[in-house]
């Protein structure tokens, strides 16, 4: 069962009480494209989770500032056999990724570093989610 | 349709996805397959060891549906 904490301080307090020093940090980004396809909105979330033992989990989630960007859809080389809907989906994906790379990734990285630093200051080790 | 993509290993630095799990809102496209996403994601097919589709082993020619969650695992790189 996961207990969700409203503030980082509350999470840290709970970890200390149980002698847990390691947490896992994961990031998620949701992107939405406007119907016209020009505007892309990014909403990021950082999740700190810890294993408290006995199958119990502790979680804290932080929102990263929403970002809206406008971008041109890139031209993609798509074969004539492929349906127009497929081309549209590919272009939308490429467009969202392009805007993400250009604008939001830096914001996510900064938020991640900030949260990691705050946790390290209070003696909590951050393990980035990896393979 | 809404799809979520996450990558592992060196794909985190070489693909367009990066460290963060990303959820995309895409126009519905019948016939869209996992393989069709690779160019946009900057993932080379030959470098993929495994694709996970909604938590189970997936295939590159599998249709991508609403709420699909895809994870790409790379082969180990030769040194």
For chain B, what are the domain ranges? 2-74
Say how many domains are in chain A. 1
Q: What is the pLDDT of residue B19?
A: 86
Whether A59 is covered by a domain: the verdict is yes
Question: What's the DSSP call for residue A2?
Answer: E
Residue among A43, A97, A108 with most chain B CBs within 10 A, to mutate: A97
Question: Could you report the predicted ipTM of this complex, rounded to two decimals?
Answer: 0.74
Whether A103 is covered by a domain: the verdict is yes
Set of chain A residues whose Cβ sits within 8 Å of the Cβ of B70: none
Nearest to B20 among A28, A86, A92 (CB): A28
Structure-block tokens of residue A27:
């990031």
CA distance A17 to chain B (A): 30
Q: What is the pLDDT of residue A111?
A: 92
Host domain of residue A111? 2-126
> Would you give per-residue pLDDT tens digits along chain A (131 residues)?
789 999 999 999 999 998 999 999 999 999 887 766 677 888 999 999 999 888 889 999 999 988 888 765 544 444 555 567 777 888 888 888 888 887 788 889 899 999 999 999 999 999 875 54
Residue B6 near residue B58 (C-beta atoms within 8 A):
no
Distance of CA A71 to the CA centre of its chain: 21
What DSSP line would sit under A107-124, residue for residue?
A: HHHHHHHHHHHHHHHTTP
Judged by a CB distance cut-off of 8 A, whether residue A113 touches chain B is no
Set of chain A residues whose Cβ sits within 8 Å of the Cβ of B41: 93, 97
Whether A74 is covered by a domain: the verdict is yes
CATH topology of domain B2-74: Ubiquitin-like (UB roll) (3.10.20)
Whether A131 is covered by a domain: the verdict is no
Q: What is the pLDDT of residue A131?
A: 42
pLDDT along chain B (79 residues), means of 10: 92 89 85 91 93 96 94 82
Whether A11 is covered by a domain: the verdict is yes
């Amino acid at each position: 069962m996961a207990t969700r904490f409203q503030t980082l301080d509350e999470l840290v307090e709970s970890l200390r009480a149980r002698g847990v020093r390691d947490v896992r940090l994961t990031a998620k980004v949701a992107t939405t494209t406007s119907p016209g396809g020009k505007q892309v909105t990014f909403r990021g979330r950082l999740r700190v989770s810890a294993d408290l033992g006995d199958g119990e989990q502790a979680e804290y989630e932080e929102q990263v500032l929403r970002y809206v960007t406008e971008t041109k859809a890139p031209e993609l080389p798509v074969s004539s056999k492929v349906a127009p809907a497929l081309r549209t989906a590919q272009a939308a994906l490429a467009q969202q990724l392009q805007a993400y790379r250009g604008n939001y990734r830096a914001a996510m990285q900064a938020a991640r570093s900030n949260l990691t630093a705050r946790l390290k200051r209070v003696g909590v080790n951050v393990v980035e989610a990896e393979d | 349709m809404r799809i979520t993509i996450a990558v592992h290993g060196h794909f985190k630095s070489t693909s367009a996805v990066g460290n963060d799990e990303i959820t995309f809102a895409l126009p519905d496209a019948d016939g869209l397959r996992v393989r069709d996403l690779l160019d946009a994601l900057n993932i080379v097919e030959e470098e993929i060891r495994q694709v996970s589709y909604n938590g189970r082993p997936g295939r590159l020619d599998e249709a991508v549906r609403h709420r699909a969650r895809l994870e790409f695992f790379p082969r180990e790189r030769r040194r």
